[in-house]
Amino acid sequence: MSRLIVASIGPASSVQDGGRPGSQRYGLTPSGAMDRLALATANCLVGNELFAAVVEIGPFGASFTARDGAVRVAIAGAPRNADIAGKPVANETSVTLRDGETLTLGFARGGAFSYLAIEGAIRGEPVFGSLAVNARAGLGSPYPRPLQAGDEFSVAAATGGPEQRIELPKPPSGPIRVVLGPQDDEFDDANKTLFLSSDWKISATSDRMGYRLEGPVIKHLHGHNIVSDGTVNGSIQVPGNGAPIVLMMDRGTSGGYPKIATVISADLGRLAQTSAGTAFRFTAISMAEAQDEARKFAQLLRGLPDRLRAADTVELNIEALHDANVAGHAVNAVDAATWQTPAEP
Amino acid sequence: MAATLAPTLAPPRLLPSGDSAVTVEFSRTIDDAANQRVLALDRALTESGIEGVIEAVPTYRSLLVHYDPGRIGFDALGDKLLALASQPQPPTAKARRWRIPVAYGGEHGIDLEDVAKTLNTTPDDIVARHVAGDYRVAMIGFTPGWSYLSGLEKSLHMSRRQNPRLLTPAGTIAIGGVQTGVQCLAGPSGWHLLGRTPVRTYQLHRNPTFLTEPGDRVTFFAVDHKTFAEQDRAAEAGKIIAELTES
């Protein structure tokens, strides 16, 4: 067994995984990683199950030291500078810390959350099948609270396998997509249009419970009190002051404010990674489109292992080059997988 | 002139809640009949075992159904839910009944005197009215174990506080609007605090973790503050303080 010591860490950092659905009828929210794609990416890079427990790191810096043996890790999510003893470490690439070495991460350069996956995954005592920290309910493991300097994880000794990188598709850009409802009829057309045509910014007071939005005041048709009903990740509720709040992974399971729309599941991680103060917009899509996007997103997650490449191959993102219309239909000569003609189905 | 209206069993409305959940809404107001239909659909859904359903969350007036859109689509699931909701309700199984001790007033119920003043009566009378109630767990929500109870006597209906408190104690027994409830964890609340119970409706390392289920019956009885302190210590150690009967 090796250990990974949290040498330093900022606020809003905790152990998270795929979450614990199944007990919402008792008021227990599922929690789990704010950016599921980044969670799955980090885990994939070190050969873990996609939704295994990792360290979710908030926007500030952090550092981790290996003890009693080597520890293999990977970071994904919000881009940040990373180094081991001054030698740069790429994001979305696995790296092995030798005994005594420290991985130092800088502030998030854009985005908010990064995910540090450890080969063999973080161990602990699952509560309802998950290690995810829910600080308000006092649960999560091995630490049922945000992480602090000095915390440590018992982890598998690094297997010494070849380091890997991953080729992710270009992330979607454009507005955050929503499906209107469940209470869009509590708002008139002018206020729905205002919601969908305005620039919004995420307030600095946002957290894992909810992202408070700054922008125009959205007015209700019949006041702001409804009889409480259930909430989902991405519910956009509008309280009395007219400033919408997007409910995130540590939301209350029920709420008494009208919900004008719901962020589609494929875009929730993208919203979670929108920096405070960056302007963005919402756009409404149909239920059929939203469900299509949800299925495509699930497919992307399942297919992540097929996107792994040996870390020492030249780092060329063909899809990104193609999108930028730089490479035409050129291929990456260094990576055999990209120049073998795929078999016709 | 006693033209009786046929019982209105209007079909519920299906409200989209993103791409992975649908709200089945029976009423827009707190309505006992609607809550019974919510709990009946919840039971029917559990028994139906519809492919792709992950979990359901009953509330006063609606059932929120979480599902995997990779396994069932909105339209197909919606049709099945409406069909289940239109079935005649099976007779309800025997309700479980919890008897829950409460230390009313003083430091444990800091709003009791104000509530009595507002309603032009004495604190003892408020307690008498509150313990006389026969309540049902209409929903559990917001934070773990917070049991929202229907059945509060009309004379105790009060609007919520103008300024919600940011922190109210674990075990708070309070009234707000037409509701009363057991708030398990410390947290914000805009309700009026009548007392505290040593009963933990949620306790992490206890079996069962959650005591109450939607549909359970609840009655309260008063205990003195010394008994509360003793029971609170026992409850902290994992003892289940509430008495359970079937009725």
Report the candidate in A75, A72, A77 with the shortest Cα–Cα distance to residue A90.
A75
Give the Cα separation of A30 and A132 in Å (integer): 8
pLDDT (0 to 100) of residue B205: 86
**Residues of B with Cβ-Cβ distance to A291 under 8 angstroms:** 19, 69, 73-74
Q: Is A267 helix (H, G, I), strand (E, B) or coil?
A: helix
Q: What pLDDT was estimated at residue A336?
A: 33
Q: How far is B94 from chain A (nearest CA, A)?
A: 20
Strand A62-67 relative to strand A102-105, pairing: antiparallel
Q: Using CB atoms, which residue from B21, B29, B204 is nearest to A139?
A: B204
Looking at the complex, report in whole angstroms how far the Cα of residue B146 sits from the nearest Cα belonging to chain A: 7
Q: Say if residues A207 and A217 touch (Cβ distance below 8 Å).
A: no
Q: Which residues of A touch B15 (CB under 8 A)?
A: 181-183
Instruction: Give the minimum alpha-carbon distance from B32 to chain A in angstroms, rounded to a whole number.
Output: 13
CA dist A66 and A29 (Å) reads 33
Per-residue pLDDT at B91: 67
The verdict on a CB contact (< 8 Å) between A227 and B29 is yes
CA A340, CA A332: separation in Å to the nearest integer? Answer: 10
Tens of pLDDT, residues B94-150:
789 999 999 999 999 999 999 999 999 999 999 999 999 999 999 999 889 999 999
pLDDT (0 to 100) of residue A345: 33
- To the nearest whole Å, the CA of B180 is away from the closest chain A CA by 14
Is the CB of A23 inside 8 Å of chain B's CB atoms? yes
Tokens read off for A328: 């035409």
What pLDDT score was predicted for residue B1? Answer: 40
* CA separation, residue A167 to residues A170, A319, B53, B92, B200 (Å): 9, 9, 33, 55, 49
* Per-residue confidence (pLDDT) for residue B52, from 0 to 100: 97
CA of A138: which chain B residue's CA is closest?
A: B204
Q: Say what the pLDDT of residue B246 is.
A: 80
> From the CB of residue A139, how many other CB atoms can be counted at a distance below 10 Å?
23
Positions of chain B with pLDDT lower than 70, given as ranges: 1-9, 90-93, 247
pLDDT confidence of residue A308: 97
Residues making up chain A, counted from first to last: 345
Using a CB-CB cut-off of 8 Å, the residues of chain B touching A229 are 23, 25, 59-62, 64
Task: Flag residues of chain A having pLDDT under 50.
Answer: 320-321, 323-345
Say if A245 is an interface residue toward chain B (CB within 8 Å). Answer: no
Overall pTM > 0.95? no
CA distance A233 to B54: 14
ipTM score here?
Answer: 0.91
Q: Do residue B140 and residue A298 have CB atoms under 8 angstroms apart?
A: no
Convert B9-22 to b/e letters by CB count within 10 Å (16 or more is b). eeebebbbbbbbbb
Q: Which of B60, B57, B63, B67 is nearest to B82 (CA)?
A: B63
